Amino acid sequence: MSERPIRFFHRGAIVEVDASAQGRSTRTVLEWLREEALCTGTKEGCAEGDCGACTVVVGELDAAGALALKPVNACIRFLPTLDGKALFTVEDVAGIGLDPASPAGAGAGAGAALHPVQQSLVDCHGSQCGFCTPGFVMSLWSCYERHHEAGTLPTRQQLADDLSGNLCRCTGYRPILDAGQKMFEAAPRRLDTAPVVAALRTLAADAPLAGPAFHAPRTLAELARVRAARPQARLLAGSTDIGLWVTKQLRELPEVIHLGDVAELRTIDERHTDGERVLCIGAAATLEAAWAALAARWPAVREMWLRFASVPVRQAGTMGGNVANGSPIGDSAPVLIALDARLVLRRGERVRRLPLADFYVDYMKNRLEAGEFVQAIEVPWPGRAGDDAMTLRAYKISKRFDSDISAVSAGMAIALDVQGRVRDVRLAYGGMAAIVKRAAAAEAALRGRPWNDEATLDAAVAALAADFKPLTDMRASDRYRARVAGNLLRRFWLETRPVAPLAEAEVSVFARGGTALA
């Protein structure tokens, strides 16, 4: 597959895997762990990144050279994407923070004293059948390291959010959340990052993986060159969608170009483009980082961020990939379209910009040209306070609160003039058509009308029937979707009308103290 083996840090040493001998570049980390490394603590449950039984933690150096730890799903992560990184599994946890020469740390695995994460699960009766437990251990360990590093303690809801990608069908979540709180009561047992950082610095000197089936360029210029030369190759970012093509659809991917090692694509920064201040999100920035950056500037998207898949999916998947994929139920696009975002598209040396609202053509079809790729997403900076400011809301309707695919999602933004009339409005819906798109008729019904007048709202809700003819599928019926679309617009009006707007606590059960996991 490549001219050199895949190299990564695992179980205290740099390991090498000759992936070419396996005949394919889409071997998953889970397959390698169970079949070759014989680390069978990591389980296969759903093989689609939904249940969390396969959760592992991947470490890599951040921009400051420190070790960053991220929980990810091993079942859909392709092994070559571990090149240059560190892999931690449930077999590692017991030995963390112990001297291997001491009796307690003997073997740094079987027989070692339990880590506070593990001991707390035992003490709180957080495991019954135990199949899901290794995944919970890894998610909790990632949380444990992050909060100890920051000197903070997670709230119960923060623990619930961190565990949203780990499903348990027999224990129940209450004792697991109890364990998550109890694990901070014991004396800290932290990971010694020095040998890991040293190994990752050694690996950074390796040449990029570049073979007939898998290419991992490290610079934007090299990516543009490889992509232009191989327009038929599949672009791979976080593998949270493409991984299912392999595990569920058994599709072959003859040639892959991996974007995850291109540093320029992982940056998120503020810049001026054509005289306009924008938030620029690199196409390979993780969903977690991208949503955090959006929420820092537009707090109204915070709930959408936390409900967008799970932490392991958000730590692996990318916002650029979610947008480029073009799913009509992708939750990023409605919010970004409501924010008037545009895409930066590159083909070789040519760069062009296109409004995201104009990017989609039909179901899973877009305006990318052969050899072209999404380089970044540019979001105009929030307007100044006063008449020019847009008020934003983001809504998601799904059967489960956490980690579920939307039946309907929406991003809505509105600006009023000094008389309270609608000066500008953007209403973008997902799940209502073959593509995510704006509700043009409803928007037209609003412009220039008084936003405080319920008759204005009623006209816009009626106009939605001209904008969308939703379908019926396993998630919702057409009638349900049509009614929900109107109800979301009504909620938006209730929250943003100039006179007596309703607070979030008056329109959301979760804002009134509900919790997704209790």
What is the domain-level CATH number for residue 144?
3.10.20.30
Within-domain flag for 201: no
- Number of structural domains (the chain) is 3
Backbone φ and ψ for 308, nearest 5 degrees, come out as -80, 100
* Shared-domain flag, residues 177 and 314: no
Residue pointed to by tokens 């980690």: 403
Mean of pLDDT values over 245-262: 95
Mean of pLDDT values over 413-442: 96
Within-domain flag for 518: no
Within-domain flag for 202: no
pLDDT tens digits, residue range 178-206?
999 999 999 999 999 999 999 999 999 99
* Shared-domain flag, residues 389 and 303: yes
What mean pLDDT value characterizes the chain?
93
What pLDDT does residue 382 have? Answer: 81
Handedness of CA 239, 243, 245, 246 (dihedral sign): positive
Out of 170, 196, 222, a domain closes at 196
* Shared-domain flag, residues 18 and 116: yes
Mean of pLDDT values over 140-147: 98
**Coil, strand or helix at 206:** coil
* Shared-domain flag, residues 79 and 160: yes
Distances (CA, A) of 61 to 69, 146, 200: 9, 15, 7
Determine the structural domain holding residue 254 and report its residue range. 207-263
User: What pTM was estimated for this model as a whole?
Assistant: 0.93
* Shared-domain flag, residues 101 and 180: yes
Q: Which residue has the higher pLDDT, 224 or 274?
A: 224
What pLDDT does residue 101 have? Answer: 60
* Shared-domain flag, residues 21 and 155: yes
The pLDDT confidence band at residue 504, using thresholds 50, 70 and 90, is confident
Within-domain flag for 107: yes
CATH number of the domain where residue 285 is located: 3.30.390.50
Mean of pLDDT values over 499-504: 91
pLDDT tens digits, residue range 201-220?
999 999 999 888 999 999 99
* Shared-domain flag, residues 219 and 142: no
Backbone φ and ψ for 450, nearest 5 degrees, come out as -70, 125
pLDDT tens digits, residue range 339-363?
999 999 999 999 999 999 999 999 9
* Shared-domain flag, residues 380 and 437: yes
Within-domain flag for 306: yes
Within-domain flag for 517: no
What pLDDT does residue 212 have? Answer: 85
Mean of pLDDT values over 377-385: 79
Within-domain flag for 506: yes
Q: Is the pLDDT of residue 332 over 80?
A: yes
Q: Are 47 and 247 in contact (CB under 8 A)?
A: yes
pLDDT tens digits, residue range 431-490?
999 999 999 999 999 999 999 999 999 999 999 999 999 999 999 999 999 999 999 999
* Shared-domain flag, residues 178 and 276: no
Closest residue by Cα to residue 343 from 281, 298, 433, 288: 281
Q: Is the pLDDT of residue 116 over 50?
A: yes
Out of 196, 229, 251, a domain closes at 196
Tokens (6 digits) for 295: 């929420």
The pLDDT confidence band at residue 103, using thresholds 50, 70 and 90, is low
Mean of pLDDT values over 135-141: 98
Mean of pLDDT values over 360-377: 96
Within-domain flag for 407: yes
Mean of pLDDT values over 40-57: 96
Tokens (6 digits) for 515: 């919790």
**Coil, strand or helix at 305:** helix
* Residue 296 identity (one-letter amino acid): A
Q: Are 376 and 282 in contact (CB under 8 A)?
A: yes
Residue pointed to by tokens 């899973």: 364
Closest residue by Cα to residue 309 from 481, 28, 76, 106: 76
What pLDDT does residue 505 have? Answer: 84
What pLDDT does residue 381 have? Answer: 87
Q: Are 426 and 341 in contact (CB under 8 A)?
A: no
- 345-349, 400-404, 510-514: least confident range: 510-514
**Residue 23: exposure state from Cβ atoms within 10 A (0-12, 13-18, ≥19):** exposed
> What angle is formed at CA 205 by the lines to CA 202 and CA 207, rounded to 5 degrees?
135
What pLDDT does residue 512 have? Answer: 60
* Shared-domain flag, residues 178 and 293: no
Q: Are 461 and 384 in contact (CB under 8 A)?
A: no
pLDDT tens digits, residue range 287-304?
999 999 999 999 999 999
* Shared-domain flag, residues 245 and 289: no
Q: Are 280 and 293 in contact (CB under 8 A)?
A: no
Mean of pLDDT values over 155-177: 95
Out of 196, 219, 234, a domain closes at 196
Q: Is the pLDDT of residue 387 over 80?
A: no
* Shared-domain flag, residues 245 and 274: no
What pLDDT does residue 106 have? Answer: 47
Q: Are 454 and 492 in contact (CB under 8 A)?
A: no
